[in-house]
């Protein structure tokens, strides 16, 4: 320990306390040296060889392990020795007993010694519990053996000493394993050696019982090792608590330097024990509290401190920046107990001289609060692109931290996204206050400020205006004498008005009102208010610009989508269109009546959002209108649309270099109410859903062509036969797909929603689908539900026409009768004229088969078909021409007429309005 110069070192190691949090001591494994925790944690800490406890633990475990291993090895060797001795004794007893048995020597002289000796040898072997007893002559030839095959063969072993009357004991590996065998002589009555007897037993046989003791021995050794380890761990845990996981070098370094560190810091440090005795005080603590030199180990109540400070130190209670007057110093005291995490009872106290800082603390706190407000304004104002919401965020931020009430007044044009027009009324766009009953103008109120008011002066000059005392502000009182009187009576006494200015534009004014604080607003408050308003003005202007752009895009998009559905008899249609909240998108749909009472349904999607996507969507919709007038099959129409999108990509390149159309999909379906067939083709779009009258919901397999604009690949069609009352459902990907939901999951949800209401009308189906599918506003959603109708046989008339001009009159007669059945006699003349011209042209210029069909729908439709693909052309005939006036007459009489092509030829049609 380092002794302070000039001061006697009367402290004992106990006075240093535990080297814990004040010294930043940590275990080598990175955990705080608290000395507490579970046994596994203590064991892991103790096993760290860097700590003193870890080194002691490892050393003790190694010693115990060596002792256990030595005991086990000695016991195993003793077991083996005992096994060998037992085998020798049993073999010697068995061999000697049989060799000296009466009749053994006599049997050796018998003509067949084996017949006499083999049974008795086997009986003696079993009785003596040895592995073999072998009787042999002096030449070593066996007379007996447990294995009869070995009788008569040479004995394996040493017999020399036994021939001379000695005993042979030897260890060898026999055919039955490692064994101990004994060879003894057989003597006759005269003492002559007439034969030999050998007995043996395997060490495994003898050591079997001993081997059974080995597991018990090992288990006992393991238990002893575990107990010793546990005891060692307890000892190491105790040592770990005392040393806090420190290594020898760390402990030495800490105890050498902690005194120097404590007495070098510029904060006073006191450690007080649980009994109120001062255990440690550094130099700064001596200076701040003017402690005597022998203060350590004395009660803090006897150190000459004032009662309040001494009582705090003796109590040990928690204190945070408590300021006490000690002599002529203001001392800030922080105190914490030391036994929060299992430490010794007592407390540690830090002292700081705050005499000079006290004078600056108030202003520093105000400055810090204002900086926090500015930071919060940068984060919390402008979180949305909504003008009113941004103004409300400014008002809510400033209350009650800066003002008691805040109001924001904006020009009406700003709220609509336009540039402000000075001289017009303002509207109260935001209000926030500590109470809701203040007599200020309410939210949404239209306000016209008088020229003398602070708001009007601020709008005119673009500068902030402060009214420190509203009682003495006649210009403000002139705004509304009754209301301003109520405001003053309510207690609002001070006002700051700051213009919301961005560049040369003034968007409105923000008003900060004070009522609770008696101090009026000052110059520093005006600076803070201007900073807050400047940040809010930028966000409000951004929101205004976005509102303008969004309104323009929405207006454009609404003008490009169908405002109403055309009248037709083939389908009962309902639809929904949900625009994205973040901006307009490129989803679109349309319903197009076609000749022959047919109807085309089309739905598409242009990738992206904004004006460009909406404009592209409008161009595609217009192109589909134009192409549908040609009455092309769906696959051919998509082919033309694909070429158009490709040309758009080539002809238009935005300023940023990106492609004009980043992607577009389309599905085109044509339904014929006469044949009940629906022909569908799609270009990268999702397949339609069909709800059959029996409630089945299917997604028909329509070939998926490439998205529009890729080019090079043909489109294919699929033809469905739809029973009357079937519902055809077309939709865009915004209905079934989003970032959090896979498209397969969305299709399953759509299937369940459609199956939930099998008998619903198209309008009800749209409602059920949108209610049951969690549609998010991230993308546009277009949904069309069309229920099929059928044009019955009673409203369709068909005839075949022979290629003979004389057949024209017969057709006119049939048509006249059919029109009479339909109560359309008024159309007989014009219909006969139209059919006469069309059938005559088909007979003259076409080829068979020729057919005539009448359809009674919303109009009377006349169709003449033939087998050629030559389209007739309308022209004006000269006065000298013999013909050429037929189609001109048809065009004049009919509402509409045209040509559509079929796989077998063409159809010329004409429509007349019903009377």
pLDDT digits (tens, 9 = 90+) for 734-777: 888 877 777 888 899 999 999 887 788 999 999 999 888 876 66
pLDDT reported for residue 650: 66
User: Residues near 387 by Cβ (< 8 Å), separated by ≥ 6?
Assistant: 410, 414, 415, 417, 429, 540, 543, 544, 547
Please state whether the predicted TM-score (pTM) of the whole model is above 0.75.
Answer: no
Phi-psi category of 433—alpha, beta or left, where left has phi over 0 and alpha has psi -120 to 50? beta
Burial call 392-424: b when 16+ CB within 10 Å, e when fewer: bbbbebbbeebbbbbbbbbbbebbebeebeeee
pLDDT digits (tens, 9 = 90+) for 94-135: 888 888 888 888 888 888 888 888 888 888 888 888 888 889
Compute how many other C-beta atoms are within 10 angstroms of the C-beta atom of residue 349: 21
User: Minimal CA–CA distance to 299: which of 268, 318, 317, 274?
Assistant: 274
Contact between 182 and 196 (Cβ < 8 Å): no
pLDDT reported for residue 296: 87
DSSP 574-608: EEEEE--TTS-EEEEEEEEE-STT-EEEEEEEEEE
- Alpha helices for 690-761 (secondary structure H): 743-756
- Give the three-class secondary structure for 533: helix
pLDDT reported for residue 27: 42
Residue 30 φ then ψ, to 5°: 95, 0
Mean pLDDT per block of 10 residues along the chain (915 residues) reads: 38 38 39 43 52 72 80 75 79 84 82 85 84 87 87 85 85 77 86 87 65 69 77 71 66 68 79 88 86 87 87 87 81 87 84 68 69 84 88 92 94 89 86 92 92 92 93 91 92 94 91 92 91 92 85 71 82 86 74 92 82 77 87 90 80 52 83 94 93 92 88 87 93 83 86 86 91 74 92 89 85 90 89 86 84 90 87 57 62 84 87 88
Q: How far apart are CA 250 and CA 256, in angstroms?
A: 10
Q: How many residues does the chain have?
A: 915
pLDDT reported for residue 353: 79
User: Residues near 644 by Cβ (< 8 Å), separated by ≥ 6?
Assistant: 620, 623
Residue 754 φ then ψ, to 5°: -70, -35
pLDDT reported for residue 213: 64
Q: How far apart are CA 902 and CA 41, in angstroms?
A: 87
Q: How far apart are CA 241 and CA 234, in angstroms?
A: 11
pLDDT reported for residue 467: 93
By DSSP bridging, strand 168-174 and strand 405-411 are: unpaired
């Amino acid at each position: 320990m380092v002794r302070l110069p000039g001061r006697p070192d009367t402290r004992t190691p106990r006075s240093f306390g535990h080297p814990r949090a004040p010294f930043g001591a940590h275990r080598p494994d990175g955990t705080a040296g608290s000395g507490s925790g579970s046994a596994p944690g203590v064991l892991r800490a103790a096993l760290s060889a860097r700590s003193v406890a870890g080194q002691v633990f490892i050393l003790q475990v190694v010693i115990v392990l060596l002792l256990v291993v030595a005991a086990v090895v000695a016991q195993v060797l003793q077991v083996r020795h005992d096994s060998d001795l037992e085998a020798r004794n049993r073999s010697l007893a068995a061999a000697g007993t049989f060799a000296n048995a009466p009749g053994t020597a006599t049997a050796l002289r018998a003509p067949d010694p084996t017949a006499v000796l083999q049974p008795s040898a086997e009986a003696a072997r079993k009785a003596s519990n040895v592995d073999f007893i072998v009787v042999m002559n002096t030449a070593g030839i066996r007379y007996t053996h447990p294995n009869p095959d070995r009788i008569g063969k040479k004995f394996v072993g040493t017999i020399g000493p036994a021939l001379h009357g000695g005993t042979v004991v030897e260890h060898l590996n026999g055919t039955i394993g490692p064994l101990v065998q004994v060879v003894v002589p057989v003597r006759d009555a005269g003492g002559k050696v007439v034969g030999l007897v050998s007995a043996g037993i395997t060490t495994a046989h003898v050591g079997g019982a001993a081997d059974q003791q080995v597991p018990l021995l090992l288990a006992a050794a393991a238990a002893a090792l575990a107990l010793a380890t546990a005891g060692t761990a307890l000892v190491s845990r105790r040592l770990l608590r005392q040393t806090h996981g420190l290594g020898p070098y760390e402990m030495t370094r800490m105890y050498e330097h902690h005194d120097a560190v404590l007495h070098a810091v510029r904060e006073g440090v006191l450690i007080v024990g649980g009994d109120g005795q001062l255990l440690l005080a550094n130099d700064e603590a001596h200076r701040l509290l003017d402690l005597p030199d022998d203060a350590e180990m004395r009660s803090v109540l006897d150190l000459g401190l004032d009662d309040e400070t001494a009582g705090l130190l003796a109590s040990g209670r928690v204190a945070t920046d408590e300021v006490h007057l000690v002599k002529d110093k203001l001392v800030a005291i922080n105190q914490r107990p030391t036994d929060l995490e299992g430490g010794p009872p007592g407390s540690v106290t830090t002292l700081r001289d705050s005499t000079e800082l006290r004078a600056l603390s108030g202003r520093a706190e105000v400055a810090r609060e204002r900086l926090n407000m500015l930071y919060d304004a940068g984060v919390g104002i402008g979180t949305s692109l909504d003008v009113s919401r941004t103004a409300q965020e400014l008002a809510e931020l400033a209350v009650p931290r800066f003002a008691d009430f805040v109001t924001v007044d904006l020009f009406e044009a700003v709220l609509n996204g336009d540039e402000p027009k000075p001289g017009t009324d303002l509207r109260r766009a935001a209000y926030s206050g500590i109470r809701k009953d203040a007599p200020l103008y309410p939210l949404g109120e239209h306000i016209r400020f008088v020229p003398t008011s602070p708001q009007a002066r601020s709008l005119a000059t673009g500068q902030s205006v402060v009214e420190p005392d509203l009682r003495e502000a006649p210009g403000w009182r002139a705004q509304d004498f009754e209301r301003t009187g109520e405001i003053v009576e309510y207690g609002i006494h001070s006002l700051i008005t700051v213009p919301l200015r961005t560049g040369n534009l003034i968007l409105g004014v923000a008003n900060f009102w004070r009522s609770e604080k008696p101090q009026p607003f000052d110059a520093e408050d005006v600076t803070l208010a201007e900073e807050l308003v400047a940040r809010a003005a930028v966000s409000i202007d951004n929101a205004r610009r976005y509102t303008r752009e969004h309104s323009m895009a929405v207006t454009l998009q609404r003008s490009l989508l169908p405002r109403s559905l055309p009248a037709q008899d083939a389908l009962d249609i309902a639809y929904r269109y949900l625009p994205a909240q973040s901006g307009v998108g490129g989803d679109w749909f349309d319903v197009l009546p076609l000749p022959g009472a047919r109807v085309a349904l089309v739905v598409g999607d242009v990738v992206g959002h904004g004006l460009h996507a909406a404009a592209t969507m409008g161009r595609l919709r217009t192109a589909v209108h134009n192409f549908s007038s040609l009455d092309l099959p769906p696959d051919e129409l998509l082919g033309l649309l694909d070429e158009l999108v490709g040309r758009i990509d080539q002809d238009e390149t935005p300023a940023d270099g990106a492609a004009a159309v980043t992607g577009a999909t389309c599905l085109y379906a044509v339904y014929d109410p006469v044949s009940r067939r629906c022909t569908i083709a799609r270009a990268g779009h999702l397949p339609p859903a069909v709800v059959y009258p029996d409630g089945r919901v299917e997604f028909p397999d329509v070939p998926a062509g490439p998205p529009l604009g890729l080019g090079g690949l043909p489109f294919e069609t699929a033809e469905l036969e739809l029973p009357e009352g079937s519902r055809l459902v077309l939709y865009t990907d915004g209905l079934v797909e989003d970032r959090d939901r896979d498209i397969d999951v969305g299709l399953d949800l759509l299937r369940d929603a459609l199956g939930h209401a099998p008998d619903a009308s198209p309008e009800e189906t749209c409602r059920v689908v949108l209610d049951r599918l969690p549609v998010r506003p991230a993308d546009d959603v277009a949904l069309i539900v069309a229920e099929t109708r059928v044009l019955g046989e009673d409203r369709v008339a068909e005839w075949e026409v022979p290629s003979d001009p004389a057949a024209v009159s017969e057709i006119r007669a049939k048509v006249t009768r059919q029109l009479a059945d339909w109560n359309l006699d008024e159309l007989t003349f014009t219909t006969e004229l139209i059919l006469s011209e069309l059938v005559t042209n088909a007979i003259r210029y076409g080829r068979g088969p020729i057919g005539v069909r009448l359809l009674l729908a919303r109009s009377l439709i006349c169709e003449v078909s033939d087998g050629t693909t030559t389209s007739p052309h309308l022209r004006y005939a000269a006065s000298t021409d013999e013909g050429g006036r037929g189609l001109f007459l048809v065009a004049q009489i009919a509402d509409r007429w045209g040509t559509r092509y079929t796989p077998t030829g063409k159809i010329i049609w004409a429509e007349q309005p019903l009377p």
